[in-house]
Amino acid sequence: MIIKTAILIVDDREENLLALERILAHTDVMIVKAQNGNDALKACINHDFALALLDVNMPDMNGYELAGLMRGEKSHSATPIIFLTAAYTHDEQIFKGYSAGAVDYMVKPINNEILLNKVNVFLDIYRQKQELIQLNKQYLLARQEAESATRVKSAFLANMSHEIRSPMNGILGMTQLLLSDNLTSEQQRYAEIVLENGNHLLALLNDILDLSKIEADMIELEDIDFTLEDTLRFATDILGFSAREKGLELITHIELGVPSILRGDPLRLRQIIINLMGNSVKYTEQGRVVIRVSVQSEESNSLCLRFDIKDTGIGISECCLTEIFKPFTQADSSTTRRYGGTGLGLSISKRLVELLNGEIGAKSIVGSGSTFWFSAVFKKSPFQTIDAVPEEHVGWDSAIAAAPLQQTRCKFLIVEDDSNSQELMGRLIEMLGHDVDTVDCGSKAIAALEQTSYDLVLMDFHMPDMDGCQTTRIIRSNKACIINQQVPILAVTGCSALDEQERLFRAGMNDYICKPVQISVVKEKIEKWLMTSSKERKIDQGYNA
Ligand code: ADP
């Protein structure tokens, strides 16, 4: 519907209104007439005026009073007002008019041509303003549509990459089993190529899943108390294996003044650290990777921490330093051939850092090494203490120092509804020399744990009816499961572990293994938990004796 532009004319004398109407007839606008202030205010309810021509001297409510009341109304607070006055003698009166909201004055008798010119100027401004408002509305609508399309696209990508991970589990798991069979050297090579490419595809899927989740606004930040040292240790534990293989030292250093307990999102922080330190380990052949944490700035309730991750690796040329934070960008094309990778890790880290209200950057010297840094804002925890943590070396030495696990035959319970995954996990555990019972749902798992003593439970995270977390909560609180109440329960999770870690730990699980499962990871985790639980059993027996 096209609404005609309207002008309000107010004068207590009928003949003046008619005269004004006649002049304005040339403008092709709707004229709304009022003979007093009250009628004019009523007209304001129904119209949006491009201009108001107000007589100053009127009984009951004069022009200034009317202008003041119009200005008070939101819809007319910016309507241009021209006062029509019989004569102006005092400056004081003019100021009064302007302060009441006048944009102009005209003295009676009115010169028709001048009035018409002035009115046309204001009508032009009004029409341009209307066009701008219209354009702005269209722009906002287009922006909303574009944003929602991006969110839908990212949500689709996130769901799709999640769905693809399940069949990948079967492909990678079975290929690993195949590789442990007696294959000819040619078959071995083919299977290795399948595994290598599958792993690359999986890394890409994981990154796309993370990036699309961030872009689809599907990331909800946690606001919990956490220990900085634990977060760093978790990251160095994960990277310790690759660092040890290359003979690299991993060093963490938390500077004086950094509180040991912070409030914020430890999972996102951990993900950024793992991405950056993971790159450092990947692109460094010898030497060390050091992470240093310091206080960048402090407010009464929050503080901004700075993390510097320094390596002695291949370095990056100056021109590539800003580019590498863009998705799918690598410093040079030979990187993928030599080191693999997707070119997504840094863009994910950048977005995560921005979610934590921080900044990220890097400096580097080709051949000498790189320092990636980022800042992140955390709330101060009411439980915080400020400690100086000594430098901690995680690497070669600590790996040698670890006592080897005495290989004993243990009994495992696998809780998994998918038959392919059941078979894969079962074969894997048997290959590692242990016995396995398998059940396909939470209630059967509880029944089994009431009857038989197990050394370790592998629990699928997503199951119909009762999921892994619900089942674990019942096991941990059920007196009937007393023989297994402390049994280590490891979640086997199909989704990006980041989403689920907090939930599974809260439910009482001890650790998790990500699908698609990697034999080396399963081996490492179950050895760790079998060792922990056998130690605990020894302590228990000691107490009982
Ligand atoms: P990816 O490592 O999967 O290729 P990233 O986004 O994490 O993707 O990194 C982008 C590129 O930045 C890498 O391909 C590599 O060229 C370069 N890069 C990142 N970190 C380092 C580092 N510590 N040392 C040298 N080059 C690095």
3-state secondary structure of 244: helix
Shortest-distance Cα residue to atom 22 of ligand 1: 280
Higher pLDDT, residue 365 or 180: 365
CB of 335 closer than 6 A to ligand 1?
yes
Question: Best mutation site among 276, 307, 316, 319 for ligand 1, i.e. most ligand atoms within 8 A of its Cβ?
Answer: 316
Higher pLDDT, residue 178 or 150: 178
The predicted-structure confidence for 464-518, as pLDDT tens digits, reads as follows 888 899 999 999 888 777 778 789 999 988 655 455 677 888 889 998 888 777 7
Locate the ligand 1 atom nearest the alpha carbon of residue 343 and give its number: 8
* Burial zone of 353 (CB within 10 Å; 0-12 exposed, 13-18 middle, 19+ buried): buried
Question: What is the rounded average pLDDT of the residues 99-107?
Answer: 80
CB of 331 closer than 6 A to ligand 1?
yes
For residue 77, pLDDT over 70 is answered with yes
CB of 345 closer than 6 A to ligand 1?
yes
Q: Determine phi and psi for 404, rounding to 5 degrees.
A: -70, 145
CATH architecture, domain 411-540: 3-Layer(aba) Sandwich (3.40)
Enumerate residues 6+ apart whose C-beta is below 8 A from 51. 7, 8, 79, 80, 81, 82, 119, 122, 123, 126
Distance between CA atoms of residues 309 and 370, nearest Å: 8
For residue 287, pLDDT over 60 is answered with yes
Is pTM beyond 0.85? Reply is: no
CB of 362 closer than 6 A to ligand 1?
no
What is the CA(545)–ligand 1 centre distance, in A?
A: 56
Candidate CATH numbers 3.30.930.10, 3.40.50.720, 3.30.430.20, 3.30.565.10; the one for domain 224-397:
3.30.565.10
Amino acid at 425: M
Question: What is the rounded average pLDDT of the residues 37-49?
Answer: 91
Question: Best mutation site among 202, 281, 283, 336 for ligand 1, i.e. most ligand atoms within 8 A of its Cβ?
Answer: 283
Shortest-distance Cα residue to atom 3 of ligand 1: 341
What is the CA(404)–ligand 1 centre distance, in A?
A: 35
Residue 44: which of 59, 66, 27 has the closest Cα?
66
The predicted-structure confidence for 337-380, as pLDDT tens digits, reads as follows 567 677 888 988 999 999 999 999 999 999 999 999 999 999 99
What is the CA(360)–ligand 1 centre distance, in A?
A: 14
Q: Quick check: do 224-397 and 411-540 share a fold?
A: no
CB of 97 closer than 6 A to ligand 1?
no
The predicted-structure confidence for 225-240, as pLDDT tens digits, reads as follows 889 988 898 888 778 8
Task: Give percent above pLDDT 70 in the chain.
Answer: 88
Residue 441: which of 462, 425, 456, 420 has the closest Cα?
462
Taking the domains of the chain in order of start, what are their residue ranges?
Answer: 6-110, 152-215, 224-397, 411-540
Fold category of 6-110 in CATH: Rossmann fold (3.40.50)
Strand runs labelled E in 255-311: 261-264, 288-298, 302-311
Question: Best mutation site among 239, 277, 279, 366 for ligand 1, i.e. most ligand atoms within 8 A of its Cβ?
Answer: 279
3-state secondary structure of 245: helix
**Strand bridging mode 288-298 / 249-254:** parallel
CATH of domain 152-215: 1.10.287.130
Strand runs labelled E in 4-48: 6-10, 30-34
